[in-house]
C-alpha cells in the first residue's frame, strides 16, 4: 500500500531579536563538565557524552546541584526581564 504524505505545517519563524530562554540547572552543569568528560572519553559520541553527563547529574545530591539551580534561577530572571522589555518594544 503506497504511503500518502501529508503536507507539512509551516513552522512559525522565530524573531532573531527575541531574548534567548533561560538555561536549566542541568544545562549549566552540562556546559561546565562536557569538556572534562569529553577528554576522559575521547571516542564517545555526542549522545554518549549526554548519557554520561545525565548519569553524573542523577547521582549528585541536591546540595551539589544547588549552585547550578541558583545560576538557572538567575538566568530565568534575566530572561523574564529581557522578555518584558522585548514585548514592550513590540507594543
For the chain, give percent helix, strand, coil, nearest 5.
65, 0, 35
> Could you tell me the mean pLDDT of each successive run of 10 residues in the chain, 91 residues long?
73 85 97 97 96 98 98 98 92 72
Per-residue pLDDT reduced to its tens digit, 26-47:
999 999 999 999 999 999 999 9
pLDDT for res 2:
67
How many CB atoms are located within 10 Å of the residue 26 CB? 17
pLDDT for res 15:
82
Q: What's 30-46 look like in SS3? A: HHHHHHHHHHHCCCCCH
pLDDT for res 83:
95
Residue 2 lies in a domain: no
The rounded percent of the chain whose pLDDT value lies above 70 is 98
Residue 6 lies in a domain: no
**Residue 42 belongs to domain with CATH number:** 1.10.30.10
Q: ∠26-29-34 over CA atoms, to 5°?
A: 115
pLDDT for res 1:
62
* Global confidence as pTM: 0.79
Residue 46 lies in a domain: yes
pLDDT for res 84:
95
Report the domain count for the chain: 1
* Domain extent at residue 35: 25-90
Amino acid at each position: 500500500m503506497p504511503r500518502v504524505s501529508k503536507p507539512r505545517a509551516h513552522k512559525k519563524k522565530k524573531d532573531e531579536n527575541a531574548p534567548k530562554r533561560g538555561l536549566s540547572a542541568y544545562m549549566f552543569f552540562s556546559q561546565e563538565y562536557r569538556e572534562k568528560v569529553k577528554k576522559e572519553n575521547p571516542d564517545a559520541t555526542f549522545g554518549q557524552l549526554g548519557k554520561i553527563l545525565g548519569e553524573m547529574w542523577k547521582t549528585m545530591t541536591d546540595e551539589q546541584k544547588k549552585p547550578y539551580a541558583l545560576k538557572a534561577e538567575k538566568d530565568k530572571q534575566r530572561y523574564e526581564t529581557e522578555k518584558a522589555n522585548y514585548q514592550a518594544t513590540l507594543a
